[in-house]
Structure 1
Amino acid sequence: MRQFITIALLSALPTLSFAHTASPFLLPEVFDSKSDSVSFQSSITVEKFFVPSRNFKTSYQVTNPNGKTESINAAAELKKFNIAEFNLNDDGTYRIRTKEATGNPTKYALVDGHWLRVRPPRPANAAPMQQPPANAEQKAPANQPPRFVAEDQVPANAKTVQTTNIYIAESFVTKGKPSPIPNVENKGFEFKFLTHPNELFTGESLKAQVLMNGKAVPNLEVDVFKGASSYQPNAKRDQPPVKTNAKGEVEVKFNEAGIYLITTAYPEASPDSTKQPAAQTYTYSVTVEVTE
């Protein structure tokens, strides 16, 4: 039996952790529908548990079972999330995907051989930064370079670059019997699904190939999170992460029924600050339902 969880319920999930990087998500009200329309929400989640943290500007592309794609806009744009809806005119599987969604550009400056993230200068009337206790360590480890630099402290001749993060969130809704999903375009960052995302059952797996401009992305970490209601405060949400193999293939196994967020970032953040940041980065997620 399909598990029906409403947008309102998932929006009320508890805020439990801020340990994870922000990720976009797209969440239908149902994944298996018998009605003639379906609504969904999109947002950025910090907790990775479908808790909307902040909104991001996007429109959507809906591809119907016949392969025709239409663009739709949000019916309501709120501070923390968007709500949209579309018609299910035909039986089969529909793909919902964000369109042309980008985060705020991030500026980096090359200072003393390290690429540092540029922060706005601290306002003159801002409260002074709290000093550490007298018995605390006063200095960072000698081998740990700074990660940030204030904009007014960037040397005049320093080389700078700007990174733009592209948000990609997608999900699938089926009316009646599942039908084939759209093929990848071999353009940009994509998941090529090797198993149908609307035919996932407990004890089985979602298999996909991760591609960048049509080429396999090996050894990329993919995070998995399980949704839970506010009546399950002790539910285990973090699932074991998985990695793509040499062919860019990834397998996510499901031991329990529920709604899952599968997310990753490309390229992965590098701890080596001497390497120039990429001009374009991607944060991707797909939301799926697993049934008994």
Structure 2
Amino acid sequence: MNRIIALSLLAGASFAAQAHKSWLLPSATVLTPDQWITVDAAVSNDLFVFNHVPVKLDKLVVTAPDGSRAEPANPHTGKFRSSFDLHLTQKGTYRIAVANEGVFASYELDGKKQRWRGDAAGLAAAIPATATAVEITEGISRNETFVTSGAPTTSTFKTSGKGLEMVPTTHPNDLFSGEKATFQLFLDGKPAADLPVTIVPGGSRYRDTQAEISAKTDDKGQFSVSWPAPGMYWLEAEVEDKKTTVAKAAGRRTSYTATLEVLPQ
């Protein structure tokens, strides 16, 4: 009986410690030319396990090695995940990203707490004039992964200058266990200095801990990580500041997420 209670408490504590994680998971990241991949997209408690909600694909952008926009095939959104196929017709590195911009608002109406999320353009019409205790936050997020067909290229590693973005120093499809990789984060086009970065290996559902790897950017926005083992990894960084472009917004939350595959030596 004591063992059952202890395991229940441990499971509850583990669940409470895990925040929902948004991710894109390609079926492969390094392929020979002219191949197909499937990409799953979800938000979950356990990394790369479909158990919460799907990532919507309306803001999906796939950038081909020549800079053009590649169109995914067979997009589908179900109860717990979205998925799509991608034909890698060009040689080089593809950047697959879901980028969102919008606002989150909370307010009280007739004594009840209300919440709203959407585009900034719809904010004024969404909140009643009689609402009180209105709090508005701007949100910018980027969720991405990289896939290479043939030899890796770097032409897709361009920043938009808005929100948090990553420019790999070590190619994201050239990662191996036991080796160190270096990346650079930018915030609104400038190096994001002194920023905490969290890296979590997949398979967290079958571990007692998240096994997080912590890093921090230097004054150039660079950080490094030594990969302890092969597998899929989830990388995340987040900034909260007052640099909002939305009227009446009190602050801004911008985040960056990437899924990276580390191969065995």
Fold shared, TM-score > 0.5 on shorter chain? yes
Q: Could you say which residue in structure 1 is the equivalent of 2:191? A: 216
Give the distance between the partners of 1:88 and 1:237, measured in 2 at CA: 33
What fraction of aligned residue pairs are identical, expressed as a percent?
25
Listed one character per residue, the Cα deviations across residues 197-241 of structure 1 (whole Å, up to 9, x for unaligned) are: 0000112123111111111112211111111287xx247642221
Give the distance between the partners of 1:172 and 1:187, measured in 2 at CA: 19
Paired residues for 1:1-292 under 5 Å: 17-34=15-32, 36-47=35-46, 49-52=47-50, 53-59=52-58, 60-70=60-70, 72=72, 75-99=75-99, 101=100, 105-107=104-106, 119-120=113-114, 156=132, 158=133, 160-188=134-162, 189-228=164-203, 233-234=206-207, 237-267=210-240, 277-278=250-251, 280-292=252-264
Superposed displacement of residue 247, structure 1: 1.8
1:29–1:239 Cα change, 3 Å: same
Superposed displacement of residue 74, structure 1: 6.5
Give the distance between the partners of 1:68 and 1:235, measured in 2 at CA: 43
When structure 1 is superposed on structure 2, of 210-219 and 56-65 the one drifting more is 56-65
When Rg is computed on C-alpha atoms for both structures, the one with the higher figure is 1
Unpaired segments ≥5 residues, structure 1: 1-13, 110-117, 122-153, 269-275
Superposed displacement of residue 69, structure 1: 2.2
Decide whether the 8 Å contact of 1:186 with 1:212 is kept in 2. Answer: no
TM-score calculated relative to the size of structure 2: 0.73
Unpaired segments ≥5 residues, structure 2: 1-10, 116-129, 242-248
Q: Residue 17 of structure 2 aligns to a residue in which SS?
A: coil
Q: Could you say which residue in structure 2 is the equivalent of 1:8? A: none
Question: How large is the Cα RMSD of the aligned pairs?
Answer: 3.2
| Corresponding letter in the other structure for 2:186 | L
| Corresponding letter in the other structure for 1:98 | V
> Is the helix fraction higher in 1 or 2?
2
Superposed displacement of residue 22, structure 1: 2.7
Q: Residue 163 of structure 1 aligns to a residue in which SS?
A: strand
Superposed displacement of residue 39, structure 1: 1.0
Count of residues paired in the alignment: 227
Decide whether the 8 Å contact of 1:25 with 1:43 is kept in 2. Answer: yes
Decide whether the 8 Å contact of 1:33 with 1:174 is kept in 2. Answer: yes
| Corresponding letter in the other structure for 1:286 | A
TM-score calculated relative to the size of structure 1: 0.67
Superposed displacement of residue 277, structure 1: 4.4
1:260–1:87 Cα change, 3 Å: same
Superposed displacement of residue 166, structure 1: 3.0
Listed one character per residue, the Cα deviations across residues 90-147 of structure 1 (whole Å, up to 9, x for unaligned) are: 2221111114x357724279xxxxxxxx9439xxxxxxxxxxxxxxxxxxxxxxxxxx
Question: Higher relative contact order by CA 8 Å / sep ≥ 6: 1 or 2?
Answer: 1
Decide whether the 8 Å contact of 2:73 with 2:86 is kept in 1. Answer: no
Q: Residue 105 of structure 1 aligns to a residue in which SS?
A: strand
> Is the strand fraction higher in 1 or 2?
2
